[in-house]
Each structure stands twice: as C-alpha cells, then as structure tokens.
Amino acid sequence: MGAILPLAAFVLMTLQAPGGPTTAALRGVVRDQTGAVLPGARIELIDSSGAAVAATAADASGTFTLNARPGDYQLRVQYEGFRVSTTSVRVEPPRAQRPPPPRVIVLDLNAVPQDITVNGGDDVIAAAAAANRDAITIDDSAIRNLPIFDRDVVATLSRFLDASAIGASGATLVVDGMEARRVGVSPSAIQQVKVNQDPYSAEFPRPGRGRIEVITKAGADAYHGGATLTFRDAHLNARDPFAETTPPEQRRLYEALLGGPIAGGKRTSFLFTLERRAEDLQAVVFAAGPAGPITANVARPDRGTEASASINHQLGKNHTLSARVNTDVSNSQNQGVGGTTLPEAGSDDHGDEEELILGARSVLTRHLLSEFRYLAGREITATRSVNAARRIVVLDAFTGGGAQADQDTSEYHFQLAENLTYVRGRHLFKGGIAIPDFSRRGFDDRTNSAGTFTFSSLTEYGLGRPLSFVQQRGDGSLVFLQKVFGAFIQDQITLGHHVSLTPGLRYDWQNVFVDNNNFAPRLSAAIALDHKTALRGGAGVFYDRAGDGAIHDVLRSREDRLQRYIVLDPSYPEPFAGGTADAPPRSIVSLDPALHTPHTLQYGVGVERQLRKGTTVAVNYLGARGFDLFRSRDINAPPPPLYLARPDSAFGQVRQIESTGRQTTQSVQVVGRGRVVRWLQGTIQYTLASVHNDTSGINALPANNYDLASEYGRADFDQRHHLEAVAQIKGNDWTNFGVAVSLSSGRPYSLRTGTDDFNTGQTNARPAGVARNTLQGPDYASVDLRWSHDFELGTPAKKGEDAPAISIAVDAFNITNRVNYAGFVGTRTSPFFGGAVSALPPRRIQLTAEFHF
C-alpha cells in the first residue's frame, strides 16, 4: 500500500476544473438490438424551445459527432424501420485532451413499447430483459485507458465471470452474435465487451455469468487508423520468488489498424488489423531431484501473427452485408515447463488457422429484423516433444524424461447462425437456429508412445520401484465428424407500463454424447418501480457440451486401433517382466448407457437502484443446482474390501464417462457502476459465494471408485469472497489513470497419500475418512495501475473527433509486488508437502506507445 497512497494523493492534488469553451462535442454510436451499427441514422440535438441546434447522419461505422454550446438537450435518433429514440443528454465542456467516450444509442424495431426501450443515454432504469445493471461492460475508451495485461481484453473481463456458470469446454465467447473460439481481431478493433448481458436469454447455451460477448468495430466514411507498440522487459520487473535470478524476459507486441471508405463511397468501408506477438518469456523451474533442489530459468519463446480484413456494405437503407477474413499463425517452444516440470519434459507447438466470416443484417419489414452469419475455416496444430525419452513422474517432486506429447490435429469446419426479431403489439419475439460446430476433425495421437513411469516419492525413485507404467501402442489416427446444433425462441412481453416478462425455450444437441431431450426453458421478469428502481428475477435450465478430449477417448476405444496399457509395480527401467513385449490387458474408455447431458438450473432475484445520474447499484441473490454432471469412474477397479484384483481380467482400467455428478451454488452479488464523482468512474463487483460438488470434471476419477460420497465437498474453484473492480481517474491532461483491483479468498485443494491404495494405477488416493478439497489455499490480491497521456499532432479533421496524436502509457501489474503463491502440494510423499511450488507473476511494468489518427 505504501506505493499507492502517495500516488493517490498526487492524483487528488492535480485534478483541475474544466475549461469553458463556447462549443463542445457530443459523440455517439447508433446500434440495433443485435449490436450491429446503423450507418445513415439521422441524429438531431433539440434545445428547450424544440429547435434543432445541430443535426448529422451516422457514418459507415454508426458513429456521429454533434457540436453545440454546453447545456441540456434532447437527442433524437431516427432510422427507417426502427422506433425513434429521444434521450435527455447534457453537452459538457471537455475536461481532458481526449474527448469523452461516445454514447451508445440502441434503437428498437418499430412498435416496441417505449416503457421497456433501452434508451441510449442509459439515464433511467429500464424493465427490459437486456437492461440489467449487474452486467459488466467495457467499451473502446475503457480498453484504451484501463490496465490490460498484454492487451488481452477477453482475459481481463473473464475475471468477472462466475466459475460455476462455465461449461465443460470453458467460457462461452460470442463475437458479433456468433459463438467463437477467439476474437479474431486486434484489441484496437474491439468496440465493446460485455459480461452477463441478459443472463437468462434463450439465445445462448450458457448463463450470462459464463459468457463473454464481443462487438467489433466496422469501417467508417473517413480514414482512421493507428499503430501500437507494447513492450515489456525483465529489467523493469520484480523477481519471481521461486527464481534465483530475475528471468531475462522480453515481450514485444506490434499492432496496426486501418479503416475507411472504399472508392470514397458512403456505403462501403473496410477495416484491416494486424497483430504481431514476439515473446521471449521464461519458465521458472522449482523442483526436487535425487541430488537435491533443482531451480532454473528456462527460455520459452513464442511468436504469433494475427491479421484480419473486413468489408461492410450498406445495400439500401435496410440491408447491411459484411465479410471478414481472419488468419493466425503461432509457434511456441518449451511449453509445459515450470514448477516441478523440468526443461527436458517440454514440448514445441505450431498452430495455423484461417477463417472466412460472412454476415447479412436486414430490416425485412417494419416489424421484422434478420441477422445471419456464416463461418468457414480450418485449423492445423502440431505438438512435438523436446525429448523422445520415456516420461518420468515423481509425484510433486519432479517430472523429467520426455514430454510424450507428440500429436497432430486438423479441423475443417463451418458455423451458421440465423436470428429473427419480430415486433407486434406488446410482444418482441426473437428466435433462431445455430450450428456452433460442424467439423471434420483429424487427430493423429502419438502421445505416451514410449510410456510414462510414475513414482510415489524420491525414495522410491532412488530404489527403482515405480508405482505404475502407462503406455499407448497402435495406430493413433482418428477422423470423425463433430456436430453441434441449437435453436431457441423467446418473447419479451410488456405487461402494463413498467413490467416485462420474457419466457423462452432452447434446444441443444451434439453427436457422440447423444441425448435428444435437451429442452431448456427460461423465464425472466423485470418491474420498473419508478425511473430509478427495478426488481428483476429469473430462472433457467442450461445444458452443457462434452469437450474434444473426451470424444477422442471414446472414439479411439470404439475403433480399437490405439491401445492403452497400465502396468502396476513394473520392473524398471524395462517395464515388462523378463524384458518381453507382452502387453497386459488393455484399458478402454466407454460411455455410460444411461448417460444424460449435464444441465444446470440457475435462478435469482435482485433489485437495481440508480443512486444518481449515471450511477447504479444492483444487489442479487443467485442460486444454481447442477444435475447429471460429467465425471469418470473406473468400473473395473478392484473391489473392496481388499482391492486386489480387477473383476474382468480381460481389461485393465475401464474408464466409464458418467453423468452422475451434482453441484450446489449459493451466492450474493453486489455490482456498482457509473461515475462516483466528476473525475472517477468505473465498475465494482463483489461476490459472497459457496460452491460444493462431487466432481472435478469429465476426466476426473474419484479417489475410491466405490466411495463416491467422499467426493462431495468444496468445488475446486470455490472462493468465499471475490472482488473485482476497474476504474478510470481523469483530471487534467496529465492525470489520466486506470485502476484494476482483484481480491479473492483462497481455493481449496486435496490431501493425498501419494500411493496407489486401491491398486488402480491412480495417484489421487486420500487418507481414510478424508473428503475431497479439505485443505485451504491462500488469498489472492493484486492492484494494477495505468497512466497515459496524449500528445496531439494537429487539429481534428472534424470538430469533436480525435486529432492525430501520439499516446504513451505505463502499466504496472501487481504494483505492490504481493507474492501470490500457487501450486500448493497436498501429496504427503512430496518434499514440498504443504507448500507451494510456484507463484503468480510479481510486479511487471508494461510500456505502450501509440500513434492514431
């Protein structure tokens, strides 16, 4: 805290009063309910007499600028096929060199009841499903001003997600209305990022707190762009507490953006982005070997290039067409090294991905809006082990030998989404179909072809007595089709003047893990008690999907071309007795005949209150019940009480994927957002939660396959207290700060014996009577700070727009240099038992220089 208090005092002392220009600029962007921009929209600024003092039309990117004397006005926005929006606005003189962030005006189709319209000024509490004030939103201005490590906006916003709402395949990322694996454009091309918008919407497979929505920028009718260099060097960083010397790291991120009209037209525009990543990072090894401690800094270089090019064309007033091409090529070395994993057990990765995305947005009638998107792409990845030797694992002491990670994957896929929005009377209907994944996937698995020895302790390793040997043999080639389908319908109904009710129904389906009854009803309601207070509540069922890894395991076992063998108490260094190559019974992966798709019932109720203009607070109770959750179980494990022999001697481990897990979540969440005082605005989210379950995921096996009751305990991600906050502090030109604070309670981990107590080849056995996740990890705290300043190079092309400028910024992450330990060891046989083998990054300084026009 010693470094923060003087800085805060400096900020407060240097804040200055605004100047008094005769005119000021009001900037904004006009969008429809899907997030698409509305180029050509008519915008007027109306004074108290009803006269229009300024008027303009939105450009190709949906943005506009109006100039008027400071004061209170009405902002009227019109677009054919959409309802006229009239919003109270205040034009204020600029207080900083850079103009204030643009207002977002959202237009509804004609006939949408005014009482539930989400007005662009965001000055009133609205009873619309998507107007919940516990949503977290960051726009392009915040992206430019907040401390965002490596400019990874999605990673920064993911801190606001609820881990209990995330599916088996991770958080759901939605880019411009379509599910995606990555954003596909550079950070400077991101217009807005949202978390938890319309949490019970039937449009999406996962709840709002498990979903990140990204809206990207379009072109404009004037040329604009920029170039950014982000730089980080070890000489500016603090030392990792587990490293003997500061690792000689350096990271360089080059970014470019250029957009504007094509052939000088007002209807067609383009946007090009380029990002080059050059990372010379270091992994810190902290392990124990037979000769004593092992510490090292290991180079882990990473190179990547990502580019995108898009074209947007306005076809008349009611149709917008778009096309975008994305490409991403990456190469990285020594992956997996760090902690107790030695350099010899690392691997090198290569990735190559291309995508073509086509979109069409059409106002078909004054009541009907269509949004269509199609994606076609391919992805090639390859992993090579640095060392081809057998892998050696001494539990929580060291991992050496080879990585045994060799594999190649190929994927050719397409995605499709079509949404329709229809307005009639008091009803706003929305429905659509989606194919989030239809792909031909090739998988050449050569992992663990030489095998892996596992030892319970350094003592056993010194005696040459491994606990197990695991190896794969045969043909690891696999080609299959992966198909995922979804459909939904919902209706936002206006009841009275200030009440909305939104029932919906969603259906999800995927192949391999087939369950044809995945109907998910959703219901949310909102009551605007007045223009400052609203009550909200909702409930919904959300189905999960199985990830790629589990599908690969099941299909390989069915084809019986790649066999997996587990040998207990093998000889060493040759695992098979007498040096023969005779294989033991093979191990397989199967699906439980009674398998169901996991689903979660989430419900909640809360109140929202506007404390002052532009500042709101929301308090919510949230509960969730997880049913039929994925877990794995060895149904051929030796039975009690002696646990000596497998029931079916023709097989080794028979890992059956089941849907028998459960989860319970209870939480209270408080979200505040807006402008606290003139020079301070931001968002803060505090969560008090408790999450218990009996599974760690689809690949997790219980400690005792015949005692599932002892698996119920705190979830791996359970944290009692969790606070996230982001804020901007803007005084004069030299006091432009961004702050991010992250505080949380520790997560649990399990106490383990480090021995194979049940003769299964597993190493997760716990002492008798000890449940899962009974040990407590440490708290986490980090404060990040950003300072930035703009140097204008001329005058703006239009009044109110940004002038060409050079911006500089300095970011400090974990500025207090707090040691946040990670990788706590609960294995009794480990020399590190009860301690940590790694830590989250220490203080790091990041420098940014940007030219933009």
Residue range 687-706: mean pLDDT, rounded: 96
> pLDDT category, 677, cuts 50, 70, 90?
confident
Cβ neighbours around 611 below 10 Å, total:
12
User: If you count them, how many residues does the chain have?
Assistant: 853
The DSSP annotation for 314-325 comes to EETTTEEEEEEE
CA 180 – CA 161 distance, rounded (Å) = 17
What is the structure's pLDDT at 97? 47
CA 199 – CA 669 distance, rounded (Å) = 14
CA 133 – CA 533 distance, rounded (Å) = 11
Helix (H, G, I), strand (E, B) or coil at 142: helix
Structural domains in the chain?
Answer: 24-107 (2.60.40.1120)
Phi, psi of 12 (to 5 degrees): -65, -40
Query: DSSP character for 611?
Result: E
CA 478 – CA 492 distance, rounded (Å) = 46
For residues 91 and 442, which has the higher predicted lDDT (pLDDT)? 442
Kindly report the average pLDDT of the chain as a whole number: 89
In the chain, the percentage of residues whose pLDDT exceeds 70 is 92
For residues 750 and 154, which has the higher predicted lDDT (pLDDT)? 750
> pLDDT category, 100, cuts 50, 70, 90?
low
CA 518 – CA 599 distance, rounded (Å) = 9
Query: Is pLDDT of 18 > 50?
Result: no
What is the structure's pLDDT at 793? 87
Beta carbons within 8 Å of 138's beta carbon, 6+ residues apart: 146, 153, 156, 157, 192, 193, 726
Q: Which amino acid is at 86?
A: T
Element (H, E) at 405: none
Residue range 169-176: mean pLDDT, rounded: 89
Burial of 410 (0-12, 13-18, 19+ CB in 10 A): middle
Let me know: does 783 contact 4? Beta carbons within 8 Å.
Answer: yes
What is the structure's pLDDT at 435? 97
pTM value surpassing 0.85: yes
Nearest partner of 781 among 814, 749, 812, judged by Cα: 814
Q: Which amino acid is at 519?
A: F
Q: What's the pLDDT tens digit per position in 293-346? A: 999 999 999 999 999 999 999 888 889 999 999 999 999 999 999 999 999 999
Q: What's the pLDDT tens digit per position in 470-492? A: 999 999 999 999 999 999 999 99
Element (H, E) at 14: helix 4-14
CA 351 – CA 339 distance, rounded (Å) = 25
Q: What's the pLDDT tens digit per position in 576-628? A: 865 445 678 999 999 999 999 999 999 999 999 988 877 899 999 999 999 99
Q: How far is CA 11 from the centre of its chain?
A: 32
Helix (H, G, I), strand (E, B) or coil at 841: coil
Helix (H, G, I), strand (E, B) or coil at 235: helix
Q: What's the pLDDT tens digit per position in 194-253? A: 998 889 999 999 999 999 999 998 888 788 899 999 999 999 999 999 998 988 899 999
Query: DSSP character for 717?
Result: T
Phi, psi of 115 (to 5 degrees): -65, -25
What is the structure's pLDDT at 139? 85
In the chain the first and final C-alpha atoms are separated, in Å, by 38
What is the structure's pLDDT at 13? 39
Query: Is pLDDT of 846 > 90?
Result: yes
What is the structure's pLDDT at 42? 87
Helix (H, G, I), strand (E, B) or coil at 114: helix
What is the structure's pLDDT at 103? 81
Query: Is pLDDT of 569 > 90?
Result: yes
The DSSP annotation for 505-538 comes to EEEEEESSS--S--EEEEEEEEEESSSSEEEEEE
Query: What's the count of helices (H) and strands (E) in the chain, helices before strands?
Result: 5, 45
Residue range 506-526: mean pLDDT, rounded: 94
Give the strand order in the sheet containing 71-78: 52-57, 42-46, 71-78, 85-91
Q: What's the pLDDT tens digit per position in 346-356? A: 999 999 999 99
